[in-house]
Structure 1
Amino acid sequence: MPKILLTAAGSYGDVAPYTGVGARLREAGHEVALATHDSYAPLVRAAGLEFRRLPADPRTPRPGTAEPARPAGPGGTRALMGKAAAFLRELSGGLADAALQGADLLLLSTTTAPLGHHLAEAMHLPSLDLPLVPGAPTGDFAPVVGGARSLGRWGNRTAGRLSLRVLDRLYADATRELRTRLGLPPATARTVRRRTQAAGRPVLHGFSEVLLPRPADWPARLEVVGNWWPWHAPDARLPPVVENFLAAGPPPVFLGFGSMAGGDGERLGALAADALRRAGLRGILQSGWAGLTAPEHPDLLTVGALPHALLFPRMSAVVHHCGAGTAAAGLRAGAPTVPVPVTADQPFWAARLAALGVATAPIPFRDLSADHGAARLAHALTQATAAPAARRDHALAAAHRLAAEDGAGEVAEAVDRLTA
């Protein structure tokens, strides 16, 4: 069997789905390594995969600063672009180190694909792109990082092409340095991207058509195969403290913001507690990167990292930032959603959930800072839970359709075709 190297970088939601893909490939008899950041090493190894380290860990401050390595944070567009470019330059060297440890096939995430294509070229390896979000231009919708507003078919396609040029700029320095290290002739990120497209290689997208139908104007090589779910042990259970809380009253509401809103946990926790009190609901706060905290209360429990697959089906509703993976997890659980998007692709997925009839109208995260933030969140919670028939019925129907999909199995079949 060939040695497969999965590569993924970024937040938990950017990495965890690939543990599910890797575990499925391992079950099929493949030898699988996952190259990612140190923060996720325990999860990678628990899934039975070899861990290979990538630098620029989002959870680790840069040397001499208190600033995380991830390309996110406050500041204007120029500052964010600079941080992102620095992140990618650091990442590129780590990807080369990981690949040079041995691989026969590269499986590349959204973040790592533009760099992984150079590795595939230099090492004469086959590769397969496995993005979690749609990136190719289409007339059906505007670029997912541009929000939820359509610009019309011509405008959407034009914006999509422009977004690819922005990405090419972000990867320019990393591309130049990586190709020099690998002994490859100079080529721009745009040139290599176009070569990859012209080669006709398949691209398998890890989201579901239940939430976002495949664009009709995409070429056949761009496939939508269904979600990849983070691995968790088959015998995993919720901790006793959570089970006891669930048993003590009606199903609570989940509130969490994943890797968003770092350092804002105390304020968000107090706001969530106020909103739950106003709505007369119990709640579970997931601390996440924000470090959500709230005063002790019989109707409120704060938890750390727990599998959404175990927790969400027990909730009356879920409140979250609408990252691609969390949005899909709520849908899979059949739980009504209160979307609170923060940035990037989150407004897009929030709008998709609302359009599907499984979510309330999105509340932009910035609105929670206003005086009426708690009242607005309480109102949305009431909408999601007090008369749940319509939204819950839609959510349960979507969950039933998701259950029939096998995204990881589709990847395994594609790998078999590549390595036959």
Structure 2
Amino acid sequence: MRITIPTTGSLGDVQPYVALGAGLRTRGHEVCLATHADFERFVRCHGLEFFSLEEGGQALQASDTGDRMLHSGSNALAFLCEFARLRRPLLQHLLHRCWLACRGADVILSTNTEFLLAESVADREHLPVVWTSLQPVAPSRFRPICLFRPWPHGVPGSSTYNLATYAMTGLGMSLLLGPPLNRARRDVLGLPPIPFYGPAAAFLAPRLCLDGYSIHVVPPPPDWGVNHHVSGFWFLDPDPRWQPPSGLIDFLDAGATPVCIGFGSMHDRDAARVTSIVLRALDQCGQRGVLVTNWGGLLASPVSDRIFSVESAPYSWLFPRVSAVVHHGGAGTTAAGLRAGVPSLVVPFMADQPFWGRRVHALGVGPKPIPHNRLNVENLAESIRRMITDEAMRRRAAEFGGRIRAEDGVGRAADLLEQYFQSGTHSA
């Protein structure tokens, strides 16, 4: 099969699909990943075809709108509004580029960030679509969509609330993005408008849905259909050509095992303040630290016997070498922390990150999450101290890591995809 995967956003929105694409490629499929130009080298070095949807994912997130989106916290409606405001000016260009990327494909793997484009291009080209997600977003009466807080335990009304969260999300996307999307469908693809609930209703179609996370972390609810599968996380092992930055291995070996702190692609205009909090908290609890600066959530600090700063490093390499991890709670970073078998503290910024923080805490493999806007020296130091000294938490994290490492999410997803199309039950 020739498979096209359109996705945009941060590295966390791209890397799992590179892993899945690489796994499919080893089985003889042709895979094209369509995403930001930032990631071309990353995609191509794993043997996948690349198609540029948009120039700069990092620049988008550093914009005023992107900054507001990144700091929307647990406010799902604020996140949806800023996400839509970021996307509206780009829709026509993105739809045209997505259409070009999907020409000649046999199937489109739809993703959460680009499902509107995927559905529209599939309409135009009469292509089958497989829904994929890195988070639990398909409707269920047993839990809310991952953008919303859970209903209070033991209080009647949870089923109604849970279903309402999916309806509100679908309605919000239709109201915020429906008009510009319909203009783009008309101007670019010559298509009629989508039905009011068209994209959201895709969940109800009898198509294959693949969720790239572990059943040990988020078990599938009993009201999902037989074609909806939770495959396991889609991990990407480090490029064998990758080498650690000069001095990092020496730092790791030079003293007590350090704590790793980094906030991934979460750009922060007040990174100096946050970096100061992190350094003071590490000092207060007497811990060494590896600071991962990435897209600007932290600032690089001078190397010392207590602190080492690195712009980036594969989490699958770094996390098993540290004693605990403090991160933003992106789906991929959460998965890497769980796989490493060390405790994690989630400091969520937006969207699904509070959800992953609650899951880590509920599993007993990390302290209660600290929202980014409530982070201070005292609560960060206390949480780090607990991750280092709580032997029961450390034991649970190690055991849980073994369960995650025993899964083959990419292989399972590839099996399901092949079986689905070999069965002949799909339709465009």
| 1:263 and 2:266 aligned | no
Contact between 1:106 and 1:126, CA under 8 Å: does it hold in 2? yes
Worse overlay, 120-129 or 307-316:
120-129
Instruction: Give the secondary-structure state (helix, strand or coil) at the position aligned to 1:284.
Output: strand
Residue 123 of structure 1 corresponds to: 125
Instruction: Give the secondary-structure state (helix, strand or coil) at the position aligned to 1:33.
Output: strand
Separation of aligned partners in 2, 1:334 and 1:61:
33
Separation of aligned partners in 1, 2:67 and 2:107:
27
Q: For 1:121-177, what per-residue CA distance to the aligned partner results, in whole angstroms no more than 9, with x for missing partners?
A: 211222211111111222222221123555722211222222222223333134313
Separation of aligned partners in 1, 2:275 and 2:204:
50
Separation of aligned partners in 2, 1:386 and 1:28:
45
Instruction: Give the secondary-structure state (helix, strand or coil) at the position aligned to 2:40.
Output: helix
Measured at CA, do residues 174 and 95 of structure 1 come closer, stay the same or move farther in structure 2, by a change above 3 Å?
A: farther
Alignment of 1:273-312 (within 5 A): 273-293=279-299, 294-312=301-319
Q: Which has the higher contact order (CA 8 A, sep 6+)?
A: 2
Residue 108 of structure 1 corresponds to: 110
Instruction: Give the secondary-structure state (helix, strand or coil) at the position aligned to 2:370.
Output: coil
Matched letter for residue 355 of structure 2:
F
Measured at CA, do residues 33 and 71 of structure 1 come closer, stay the same or move farther in structure 2, by a change above 3 Å?
A: farther
TM-score, normalised to structure 1's length? 0.91
Residue 23 of structure 1 corresponds to: 22
Separation of aligned partners in 1, 2:263 and 2:340:
18
Residue 133 of structure 1 corresponds to: 135
Measured at CA, do residues 216 and 125 of structure 1 come closer, stay the same or move farther in structure 2, by a change above 3 Å?
A: same
Residue 6 of structure 1 corresponds to: 5
Contact between 2:71 and 2:350, CA under 8 Å: does it hold in 1? no
Alignment of 1:204-219 (within 5 A): 204-219=210-225
Measured at CA, do residues 274 and 397 of structure 1 come closer, stay the same or move farther in structure 2, by a change above 3 Å?
A: same
Contact between 1:275 and 1:378, CA under 8 Å: does it hold in 2? yes
Q: For 1:269-325, what per-residue CA distance to the aligned partner results, in whole angstroms no more than 9, with x for missing partners?
A: 221110000000000000022252234432100001211000000111000111111
Contact between 1:18 and 1:230, CA under 8 Å: does it hold in 2? no
Contact between 2:7 and 2:114, CA under 8 Å: does it hold in 1? yes
Q: How far 1:93 sits from its partner (Å)? A: 2.6
Q: How far 1:71 sits from its partner (Å)? A: 8.2
Once superposed, what is the RMSD of the aligned Cα atoms?
A: 2.4
Alignment of 1:333-352 (within 5 A): 333-352=340-359
Separation of aligned partners in 2, 1:218 and 1:344:
22
Measured at CA, do residues 405 and 344 of structure 1 come closer, stay the same or move farther in structure 2, by a change above 3 Å?
A: same
Separation of aligned partners in 1, 2:180 and 2:400:
40
Q: In the comparison of the two structures, how many residue pairs are matched?
A: 410
Worse overlay, 314-323 or 149-158:
149-158
Separation of aligned partners in 2, 1:343 and 1:191:
26
Contact between 2:259 and 2:322, CA under 8 Å: does it hold in 1? yes
Matched letter for residue 311 of structure 2:
G
Matched letter for residue 120 of structure 1:
A
Residue 183 of structure 2 corresponds to: 177
| 1:93 and 2:100 aligned | no
Which stretches in structure 2 are left out of the alignment for 5+ residues?
Answer: 423-428
Matched letter for residue 171 of structure 1:
L
Q: How far 1:209 sits from its partner (Å)? A: 1.2
Q: How far 1:220 sits from its partner (Å)? A: 2.0
Measured at CA, do residues 321 and 87 of structure 1 come closer, stay the same or move farther in structure 2, by a change above 3 Å?
A: farther
Instruction: Give the secondary-structure state (helix, strand or coil) at the position aligned to 2:147.
Output: helix
Q: For 1:49-107, what per-residue CA distance to the aligned partner results, in whole angstroms no more than 9, with x for missing partners?
A: 11100116321359xx955769825689455543343344543232122223x312211
Measured at CA, do residues 208 and 7 of structure 1 come closer, stay the same or move farther in structure 2, by a change above 3 Å?
A: same
Separation of aligned partners in 1, 2:257 and 2:318:
11
Q: How far 1:114 sits from its partner (Å)? A: 2.6
Contact between 1:56 and 1:69, CA under 8 Å: does it hold in 2? no
Worse overlay, 209-218 or 230-239:
230-239
| 1:313 and 2:312 aligned | no
Which stretches in structure 1 are left out of the alignment for 5+ residues?
Answer: none
Instruction: Give the secondary-structure state (helix, strand or coil) at the position aligned to 1:54.
Output: strand
Contact between 2:37 and 2:55, CA under 8 Å: does it hold in 1? no
Worse overlay, 87-96 or 15-24:
87-96
Matched letter for residue 418 of structure 2:
D
Measured at CA, do residues 273 and 42 of structure 1 come closer, stay the same or move farther in structure 2, by a change above 3 Å?
A: same
- The one of 233, 236, 250 equivalent to 1:230 is 236
Contact between 1:71 and 1:87, CA under 8 Å: does it hold in 2? no
Residue 356 of structure 1 corresponds to: 363
Worse overlay, 136-145 or 308-317:
136-145
Matched letter for residue 27 of structure 1:
T
Instruction: Give the secondary-structure state (helix, strand or coil) at the position aligned to 2:369.
Output: coil
Q: For 1:358-394, what per-residue CA distance to the aligned partner results, in whole angstroms no more than 9, with x for missing partners?
A: 01111111112xxxx111111111011023x211111
Residue 410 of structure 2 corresponds to: 408
Residue 419 of structure 2 corresponds to: 417
Contact between 2:261 and 2:292, CA under 8 Å: does it hold in 1? yes
- The one of 57, 64, 72 equivalent to 2:69 is 72
